[in-house]
Amino acid sequence: MSKPKIFLCRCEDVTVDEFTAAFREGFTELESLKRYTGVGTGFCQGKGCLCEATGELARLRELEPGDIRLTTIRPPSEPLTFSQLATLQVPDPAADPEETP
């Protein structure tokens, strides 16, 4: 019987085992782990998992959580409402870029 999966990031389905494996592959900073595993990049933008990921990384590096450098927060350059997002024109990927006005 296999052990149950423990999810570190529910939005991106990153498990503790995957996070640990990435650390063992050489991704030893939270920013590189975020880019490699996707932890903190889902719908919640890390609100539900970066604290836990920081704690897990601190455990793996044998440091205090406060000694872990946090990831770079990149908010939208201009906040949009959901109604603005819903009205955005999405380009057709099959369209010829030469014909686009």
Ordered structural domains, the chain, with CATH: 7-74 (1.10.10.1100)
Provide the Cα torsion 73, 78, 79, 82; round to 10°. -120
Does residue 5 come out as left (phi exceeding 0), alpha (psi in the -120 to 50 range) or beta? beta
19: number of Cβ within 10 Å: 25
Which segment, 9-18, 38-47, 76-85, is predicted with the most confidence on average?
Answer: 9-18
* Mean pLDDT, rounded, for 69-96: 80
Which pLDDT score, from 0 to 100, does residue 20 have?
Answer: 97
Averaged over 63-80, what is the pLDDT?
A: 84
pTM of the complete model: 0.70
Give the whole-angstrom CA distance, residue 99 versus residue 101. Answer: 6
